[in-house]
């Protein structure tokens, strides 16, 4: 059985930008810009093994064959914070499709409630699920399960900061889904926030706190 690959992208540029995002005084505008810049940098590795096809192109000098993407990807943010990473991926793959997953957890039943789910029809395309914070892993697991129910089989998770607990939950529940993160932090506090983390990513992206 396939085991999840967990890739920590500790590139100096990513580490530098993430350290600025962590600072409590970094404003929403800079926070959003840095998040998209990191998402763009992470796109190189997460798309390293995308399939290509040969196409014939006429250059100013001659006709020759070159490689282009065989199929575009589907970017799927988990609302709302996942939206903050979409533009960073689209900057490199502007032809990508974008789906959306919106959900919350019912406090009585502890079950996920999906209030919005919209996906392109092409089930064979690779899906990149985005969420800046992989904390408990609950939302990611529920989103992945919903995608699988809909027929998507090639799914990868892109997060900014993860906890060891969240990584463990997702890899055990979905061993066929690889996870790409900029950092795996120390763990979760008693409020289930990542330590040291960077606070509530949604609030910091959208300036709602």
Residue-level length of the chain:
209
Q: Which of 72, 87, 176, 203 is catalytic?
A: 203
Is there a catalytic annotation at residue 109? yes
Q: What is the spatial distance between Cα 176 and Cα 18, in angstroms, rounded to a whole number?
A: 28
Q: Which of 72, 87, 176, 200 is catalytic?
A: 200
Q: What is the spatial distance between Cα 85 and Cα 154, in angstroms, rounded to a whole number?
A: 19
Q: What is the spatial distance between Cα 124 and Cα 151, in angstroms, rounded to a whole number?
A: 9
Is there a catalytic annotation at residue 70? no
Half-sphere exposure of 3 (CA within 13 A, CB side): 3
Q: Give me 51's structure tokens.
A: 């399939």
Q: Which of 22, 105, 125, 146 is catalytic?
A: 105
Is there a catalytic annotation at residue 105? yes
Q: What is the spatial distance between Cα 195 and Cα 12, in angstroms, rounded to a whole number?
A: 21
Is there a catalytic annotation at residue 156? no
Q: Which of 49, 109, 190, 191 is catalytic?
A: 109
Give φ, ψ of 66 to 5 degrees. Answer: -140, 165
Catalytic amino acids? 105, 109, 200, 203
């Amino acid at each position: 059985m396939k085991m999840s690959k967990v890739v920590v992208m500790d590139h100096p540029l990513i580490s530098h930008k993430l350290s600025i995002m962590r600072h409590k005084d970094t404003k929403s505008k800079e926070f959003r810009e840095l998040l998209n810049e990191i998402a763009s940098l992470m796109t190189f590795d997460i798309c390293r093994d995308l399939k290509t096809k040969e196409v014939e192109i006429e250059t100013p000098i001659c006709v020759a064959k070159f490689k282009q993407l065989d199929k575009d990807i589907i970017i799927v943010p988990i609302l709302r914070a996942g939206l903050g990473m979409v533009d960073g991926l689209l900057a490199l793959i502007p032809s990508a499709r974008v789906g959306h997953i919106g959900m919350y957890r019912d406090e009585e039943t502890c079950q996920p409630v999906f209030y919005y789910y919209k996906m392109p029809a092409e089930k064979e395309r690779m899906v990149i699920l985005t969420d800046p914070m992989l904390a408990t892993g609950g939302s990611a697991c529920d989103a992945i399960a919903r995608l699988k129910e809909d027929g998507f089989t090639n799914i990868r998770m892109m997060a900014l900061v993860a906890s060891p607990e969240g990584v463990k939950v997702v890899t055990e529940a979905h061993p066929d889904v690889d996870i790409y993160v900029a950092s795996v932090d120390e763990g979760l506090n008693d409020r289930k926030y990542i330590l040291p983390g960077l606070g509530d990513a949604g609030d910091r992206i959208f300036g709602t706190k």
